Amino acid sequence: MPLSIPPPQTNEGTPLGSMENGQLFRLPLKYFGFHFAFYGVTGTGKTRAAMNLAIKADNEGLNLRIIDIEGEWKNIIPQLKKDTIYYDINKNLKVNPFDLQDPGLTKLLLRETIFKGIELEYRDLSPQMNFMLDKCVLISKSIPKLIENVISHKPETEFPLRNLDLTRTALLTRLNPYKDNPVLRSIFYVSKSSIDMSSIKDKNLIIDLHGLDMKVAYKRELRLIYNTLAITYLREALKTEEVNSVKNLFIADEAQLLVPRILQKAVATDTWATTDFATRLRKRGESLAIISQSPANIEDDIRKNSQNLFVFRLLDPGDIKAVAGMFGYVHVEEINHLSSMLTGMEERCAMAKTPSALYPFIIRTLDVELPKLSEEDLAAYLPESEETKEEAISEDEQELLQNIRENPFLNNTERALSLGWHRTRYSATRKLLRRKDLVEEISFKTKLKGAPSRFLKLKEKKEYGRGQFIHAFWVDKIFIYLKEEGYNPLQEYKANDKIVDVAYTKDGKTIFVEVEYKSDWKSNILRASKICDKLVSVFIREKDIIDAVNFVKQENLSNVTVTDAYYAYKVIP
Ligand SMILES: Nc1ncnc2c1ncn2[C@@H]1O[C@H](COP(=O)(O)OP(=O)(O)O)[C@@H](O)[C@H]1O
Ligand SMILES: [Mg+2]
């Protein structure tokens, strides 16, 4: 189909982009039921294009259901009219794949995610593993129960089971992280999912999985959550009565995470098998918007039935072939033409096709500005996100807290070492404590060269000695150094009406060390230098040092040495 055909004339509907002739492309609501797809390589503007769609859909009265991997979607909340319920994987999201109430489906999901590839790993055990998994899934209602059953369930069989222990162990290698890893545990080691589908009726729902996505190792778990939630929602939607207008817009960003192939099985039951579920959703007022970098990896049924199509730049031949079919291109020349168009597509431009227009056309997406929300802004929009119950503190968390109390000034690397923990265990525990608001993280430079170090500070502890953490850190370092050098230093030493950070004697002389950080250093220097033989003023902020050197010269204070923290050891003792 030639693209020289003029773009469609659209006088009413939701504006979704501008066309080559400068006019807006508008799509009337009645076409929303034909679903949406936004394809294109990363960074081409798919998410923003879908956000424009979402904001306008909300403003026209639709409810949004959004699964977000990148953590971007919460930022549209201020632009939404309806109330929004926000679930954050680091806070209030709990997922129980057994809540699908369909053991066959749950097993399918678990196999496509938790147990994916395990059959290759344990080839010899494979038949028995399957058997065991089947039995255990059937009698379990949650992940904790499943783990329990895999450990101890004795299935009745007419034939003897060999290698049963090996089979259990193999399955547990994949399951144990859901019990032992604090991050996964807080999400999955539960008896009930936290999302109540009945509570979202006339509200928007945003599920933010970004907190887990940041940990690359968790791709499998991410797929499990993503699928459990998407399937739960879609199945619920299919149970509702037929209606004449669109009610909800379900947005799946990074939709390639929807495990291909199984979605059809997941939502199709025997009675419905003849009609594709995309059509059934449309009849129930559900509109889907699929956003993906990889159309080739999207379930056939969804791909074929997402008829409001926006294709941004694509590079992979497999993906281009997949969309060629949707545009109705079959001849080699047509496909080559499409390929050269798509590979050269500018950012924020897409080839569009919709049942509302006869031919494909090019659009440029509309501006969507996203002021970033702070945690506080979010809290204001989202009272629900505060609902999270106080969770118990795990042993690891207690151990880490204790460790911080005993050694407040270790950086994260040193602390993990001192605990004898692997990095992942340390950082997972640290995350949990931060989430519970028991610790905060501070980062500053402790060496002249290299990246800043990171420290955990107890939230309960406001003051460290006479000042801030960073001040205390350096005082502690200098104090320990002097001790190791064989001096007998004193901390917070009282001299007349002044308290000095560190004091020690060398060759019968009294030496004071004062660490200056955001302090009234001029008066400190004047007062301290009068009551000791020598004063070392240690500055943490580079910009103060020159001022201090000049000040000392000006005041003619011959017993004062000014240094920065990194060089302090050259002048002490
Ligand atoms: N419609 C738009 N309005 C404003 N900025 C945009 C728009 N589309 C893209 N951008 C800019 O390009 C970046 C990538 O767009 P995004 O929609 O996140 O791409 P994708 O989802 O395809 O990876 C955005 O972070 C933004 O800076
Ligand atoms: Mg995106």
The residue ranking higher by pLDDT, 195 or 260, is: 195
* pLDDT computed for residue 465 by the predictor: 65
Contact 294, 316 (CB under 8 A): yes
* pLDDT computed for residue 430 by the predictor: 92
User: Which one of the ligands is nearest to 252 CA?
Assistant: 2
Q: How far is the CA of 437 from the centre of ligand 2 (A)?
A: 30
Q: Of all atoms in ligand 1, which is nearest to the CA of residue 41?
A: 22
Does the pLDDT of residue 10 top 60, yes or no? yes
Domain positions in the chain:
23-93+194-364, 100-180, 390-458, 469-571
* pLDDT computed for residue 389 by the predictor: 46
pTM, two decimals, is: 0.67
Residue having the nearest C-alpha atom to atom 12 of ligand 1: 45
C-beta 534 within 6 A of ligand 1: no
Pairing of strands 204-208, 63-68: parallel
Rounded CA gap, 466 and 472, in Å? 8
Contact 37, 53 (CB under 8 A): no
Going 127 to 130 to 133 to 139, the CA torsion angle's sign is negative
Instruction: Give the pLDDT band of residue 570 (cuts 50, 70, 90).
Output: confident
Instruction: Give the pLDDT band of residue 136 (cuts 50, 70, 90).
Output: very high
C-beta 46 within 6 A of ligand 1: yes
Cβ neighbourhood burial of 169 (10 Å; 0-12, 13-18, 19+):
middle
Q: How far is the CA of 253 from the centre of ligand 2 (A)?
A: 7
Does the pLDDT of residue 198 top 90, yes or no? no
Contact 225, 95 (CB under 8 A): yes
Q: How far is the CA of 366 from the centre of ligand 1 (A)?
A: 10
Q: What is the pLDDT of residues 221-276, one digit of tens each?
A: 888 999 899 888 888 888 889 999 999 999 999 888 876 556 666 655 544 444 57
Does the pLDDT of residue 37 top 90, yes or no? yes
* pLDDT computed for residue 278 by the predictor: 82
C-beta 76 within 6 A of ligand 1: no
Range 99-120 average pLDDT: 88
C-beta 17 within 6 A of ligand 1: no
* pLDDT computed for residue 216 by the predictor: 61
Instruction: Give the pLDDT band of residue 372 (cuts 50, 70, 90).
Output: confident
Does the pLDDT of residue 466 top 70, yes or no? no
Q: Of all atoms in ligand 1, which is nearest to the CA of residue 366?
A: 1
Does the pLDDT of residue 371 top 70, yes or no? yes
Instruction: Please state, in angstroms and as integers, the Cα–Cα distance from residue 434 to each residue in 177, 184, 194, 404, 511, following that order.
Output: 21, 16, 21, 13, 40
Rounded CA gap, 528 and 502, in Å? 11
C-beta 390 within 6 A of ligand 1: no
Range 486-505 average pLDDT: 88
Does the pLDDT of residue 160 top 90, yes or no? no
C-beta 348 within 6 A of ligand 1: yes
C-beta 45 within 6 A of ligand 1: yes
Helix (H) or strand (E) holding 311, with range, is: strand 308-311
Instruction: Give the pLDDT band of residue 171 (cuts 50, 70, 90).
Output: very high
C-beta 365 within 6 A of ligand 1: yes
Choose the CATH number for 23-93+194-364 among 3.30.450.20, 3.40.50.300, 3.30.70.1350, 3.30.750.200: 3.40.50.300
Does the pLDDT of residue 108 top 80, yes or no? yes
* pLDDT computed for residue 419 by the predictor: 94
Does the pLDDT of residue 383 top 80, yes or no? no
User: Which one of the ligands is nearest to 311 CA?
Assistant: 1
Does the pLDDT of residue 12 top 60, yes or no? yes
Q: Does domain 390-458 have CATH number 1.10.10.10?
A: yes
Q: What is the pLDDT of residues 202-228, one digit of tens each?
A: 999 999 999 887 776 778 888 899 989
Instruction: Please state, in angstroms and as integers, the Cα–Cα distance from residue 93 to each residue in 74, 80, 236, 254, 425, following that order.
Output: 15, 22, 19, 19, 21
Cβ neighbourhood burial of 220 (10 Å; 0-12, 13-18, 19+):
middle
Q: Using a CB cutoff of 8 Å and minimum separation of 24, what contacts does 501-509 make?
A: 501/465, 501/466, 501/475, 502/475, 502/478, 503/532, 504/573, 506/573, 509/533, 509/534
Rounded CA gap, 186 and 9, in Å? 52
The residue ranking higher by pLDDT, 437 or 263, is: 437
C-beta 443 within 6 A of ligand 1: no
* pLDDT computed for residue 5 by the predictor: 67
Reference 431, options 71, 69, 90, 70; nearest CA is: 90
C-beta 48 within 6 A of ligand 1: yes
Q: How far is the CA of 51 from the centre of ligand 2 (A)?
A: 10
What percentage of the chain reaches a pLDDT higher than 70?
Answer: 92
Reference 233, options 180, 202, 195; nearest CA is: 195
Residue having the nearest C-alpha atom to atom 14 of ligand 1: 43
Instruction: Give the pLDDT band of residue 386 (cuts 50, 70, 90).
Output: very low
Q: How far from the centroid of its chain's Cα atoms is residue 91's Cα?
A: 11
Residue having the nearest C-alpha atom to atom 9 of ligand 1: 45
* pLDDT computed for residue 422 by the predictor: 92
* pLDDT computed for residue 462 by the predictor: 67
In the block, tokens 């629900």 appear at 384
Residue 519 is given by DSSP the state S
Secondary structure (DSSP) of 419-482: HT--HHHHHHHHHHHHHTTSEEEEEE--SSSSPPEEEEEETT---BTTB-HHHHHHHHHHHHHH
What percentage of the chain reaches a pLDDT higher than 90?
Answer: 50
C-beta 47 within 6 A of ligand 1: yes
Rounded CA gap, 278 and 270, in Å? 16
Residue 411 is given by DSSP the state B
* pLDDT computed for residue 263 by the predictor: 60
Residue having the nearest C-alpha atom to atom 16 of ligand 1: 45
Quote the mean pLDDT of the chain. 87
User: Which one of the ligands is nearest to 347 CA?
Assistant: 1
User: Which one of the ligands is nearest to 254 CA?
Assistant: 2
Choose the CATH number for 469-571 among 3.40.190.10, 3.40.50.720, 3.20.20.80, 3.40.1350.10: 3.40.1350.10
Does the pLDDT of residue 137 top 60, yes or no? yes
* pLDDT computed for residue 367 by the predictor: 96
Q: How far is the CA of 76 from the centre of ligand 1 (A)?
A: 13
Q: Of all atoms in ligand 1, which is nearest to the CA of residue 50?
A: 17
Structure tokens that stand for 117 in this block = 């590839």
Reference 531, options 503, 551, 553; nearest CA is: 503
Q: How far is the CA of 60 from the centre of ligand 2 (A)?
A: 24
Range 112-117 average pLDDT: 88
Rounded CA gap, 153 and 380, in Å? 48
Structure tokens that stand for 205 in this block = 């729902």
Rounded CA gap, 485 and 502, in Å? 14
Instruction: Give the pLDDT band of residue 126 (cuts 50, 70, 90).
Output: confident
Question: Which amino acid is present at 251?
Answer: I
Decide: helix, strand or coil at residue 563.
Answer: strand
C-beta 193 within 6 A of ligand 1: no
C-beta 293 within 6 A of ligand 1: no
Instruction: Give the pLDDT band of residue 391 (cuts 50, 70, 90).
Output: low
In testing the pocket of ligand 1, which one of 48, 312, 366 has its CB within 8 Å of the most ligand atoms? 48
C-beta 411 within 6 A of ligand 1: no
286 bridge partner residues: 248
Q: How far is the CA of 67 from the centre of ligand 2 (A)?
A: 12
Can the peptide bond before residue 295 be classed as cis, meaning omega within 30 degrees of 0?
no
Q: Of all atoms in ligand 1, which is nearest to the CA of residue 44?
A: 22
292 bridge partner residues: 39
Instruction: Give the pLDDT band of residue 141 (cuts 50, 70, 90).
Output: very high
Residue 561 is given by DSSP the state E
C-beta 313 within 6 A of ligand 1: no
- Return the number of other C-beta atoms located less than 10 Å from residue 306's C-beta: 24
Residue 212 is given by DSSP the state H
In the block, tokens 């308290």 appear at 499
Instruction: Give the pLDDT band of residue 381 (cuts 50, 70, 90).
Output: low
Q: Of all atoms in ligand 1, which is nearest to the CA of residue 365?
A: 1
The residue ranking higher by pLDDT, 194 or 536, is: 536
C-beta 368 within 6 A of ligand 1: yes
Q: Of all atoms in ligand 1, which is nearest to the CA of residue 369?
A: 4
Range 339-355 average pLDDT: 96
User: Which one of the ligands is nearest to 50 CA?
Assistant: 1
Range 439-467 average pLDDT: 82
Range 436-440 average pLDDT: 83
